[in-house]
Amino acid sequence: MFQYENQEFLTAEFPVLPSISHFLGAFESTHNNYLEDPFPVSQYHDQIYNHYPTPASLYTFRNTDFHSSKTTKKRRDRGSSFSSSTKVVNVDDFGAKGNGQDDTKAFELAWKEACSSRKATLLVPKGRTYYLKPITFSGPCRSPLTLKINGMIKASTRISDYENDRRHWLKFEGVDNFVVEGNGIINGNGRKWWQNSCKVNKELPCKRAPTAVTFYQCINLVVSNLMFKDAQQMHLTFQKCTNVKALNLRVVAPGNSPNTDGIHITETQNAIIRNCVIGTGDDCISIVSGSRNVRAMDITCGPGHGISIGSLGAENSEAEVSNIRVNRALISGTSNGVRIKTWQLNSQYLTEKSWPHFQTAVDPLNFNPTIPTPPPANLHDLHGGSGYAKNIMFQNVVMKNVSNPIIIDQNYCDKEDSCPEQNSAVKVSNVVYKNIRGTSASDDAIKFDCSKSFPCQEISLLGVHIVGQGNEVATASCENVRLKNRWKVYPQC
């Protein structure tokens, strides 16, 4: 068997999904010794998490259950089943019917009551479907709060309901020490939005659809044991959050649903994504600018676009991403495997041929439609994004029929015609690919398309073996990349 550098760490702390265990267990052993891990396990415990806005260390956070959920796992939906010290706020008691009518007002009233109470649980009972318009659940709350979703929450499909906020459906803002759990479903009801997407109908103008669930500026947050389904656009976004755990989640949407990222991390630090099954029409997990200290482990991904760092540097912006570790993943039938992508050129600057047909430009983070400015006379004078993506590790990954299993794309371009060559870029450095095996659906199993001005640096390939379908020959395409370590790699750069 292939020897990991720390078998105890791999199996003891976080249980491995059965499917991933099966595939990882099939890896062939070629050597009992491994090169020194440039990301020691200890580095991902407490050492790098030392700049908290709260006094608790990450270790304490990771092992803290804010509401003693171990004692409440088998509790039923009625208030009498909860601890006598917990105040249960049932949305039904505030007028929610769960019968197809609009329950937004009842949820607003129930949230206000729960948020202002001590040690409260806001309960969404099982067996009913609650329809909601866009709604913001705002903090701070009086004390730690649990939202227990056992039923289904479903989005309104009336586009007019989103006139005041096309960016969000369910938004949780400024809620600290917050647990969202249950065995229910959050359904974005997104099919109507997909039909009106310019990616589906190219004659339509490009307009953003709402993110199904957004956590904004939350500290000490746990989201667990829920299903997210058919988002209007992204399913679950953590933005400007600190100390996040996303555990045992299932995120599903059709493989052809546009822009339906599974879990999106932006401007967030100290996040753990664990034991999640994600299959959508876009990235299973996307980690973008301003994010650091993010760990994703025991992930099943597919269909979709794989696990992505980026895109970074959109609209010529500065991007910073660091200390990212993906460990134990099964990626199947996706258009990319593990990917780092950075923008080549401002996406609103199009060629003269396509410029008259361009309707709007969109801020990729804030989703605010803006009127684009005409492109400069000489597009070749423009710069790409800037900043860095560094200290990244992808390890213990199985690929099954994946296009572009390993890819760094510093020349990402979102239009049909090629973008002008850039003379600046988001710098990519210290990236490790370790113990990655499987099959490629594309000729190139490894593709490094890096910047001439700022080549990818300190890239390590350790124990990588990816072949074509039916054990066919696979190839590697490596442009402007500086390799630091190579050990037992196929195909070779």
As a three-state string, the secondary structure of 62-104 is: HCCCCCCHHHCCCCCCCHHHCCCCCEEEEHHHHCCCCEEEECH
Supply the pLDDT for residue 460.
Answer: 98
Q: Are 58 and 79 in contact (CB under 8 A)?
A: no
- Tokens standing for residue 83: 């601890």
264, 305, 380, 383: which is the annotated catalytic residue?
Answer: 305
- Would you state the pLDDT for residue 374? 45
pLDDT number for residue 94? 99
Q: CA-based diameter of the chain, in Å?
A: 70
Range list of β-strands (E), 125-257: 129-132, 135-138, 145-149, 152-155, 168-173, 178-181, 185-187, 211-216, 219-224, 227-229, 236-239, 242-247, 250-252
Could you tell me if 144 and 180 are in contact, meaning their C-beta atoms sit under 8 angstroms apart? no
How far, in Å, CA of 398 to CA of 337, rounded?
9
The token pair that represents 261 in the structure block: 């990222």
Any residues with CB less than 8 A from the CB of 478 and at least 6 apart, and which? Answer: 446, 447, 448, 493
Backbone φ, ψ for residue 8 (5° rounding) = -60, -45
Q: Where are the alpha helices (DSSP H) in 187-263?
A: 191-195
Task: Show me where the domains of the chain are located.
Answer: 1-48+283-493
Q: What is the pTM of this model?
A: 0.80
State whether residue 32 is helix, strand or coil.
Answer: coil
Rounded-to-integer distance, Cα 215 and Cα 218, Å: 6
Q: Say what the pLDDT of residue 54 is.
A: 31
So what's the pLDDT on residue 417? Answer: 59
Q: Which of 215, 221, 169 is nearest to 192 (CA)?
A: 169
Residue 305 annotated as catalytic: yes
Evaluate the omega torsion of the peptide bond into residue 140 and state whether it is cis, within 30 degrees of 0.
yes
Structure tokens at 433: 């690919």
Instruction: Using 50 as the pLDDT threshold, list the residues of the chain that sit under it.
Output: 1-80, 346-382
Residue 180 neighbours by CB under 8 Å, 6+ apart? 146, 147, 149, 172, 221, 222, 223, 224, 226
User: Which uninterrupted H or E stretch holds 10?
Assistant: helix 7-12
Q: Strand 369-370 to strand 307-312: parallel, antiparallel, or no bridges (unpaired)?
A: unpaired
- Bridge-partner residues for 55, per DSSP? none
Identity at 271, one-letter amino acid code:
A
User: In whole angstroms, what is the distance from residue 1 CA to residue 7 CA?
Assistant: 12
Block residue for tokens 């209007």: 232
CB atoms within 10 A of CB 366: 10
Radius of gyration in angstroms for the set of CA atoms belonging to the chain, rounded to a whole number: 23
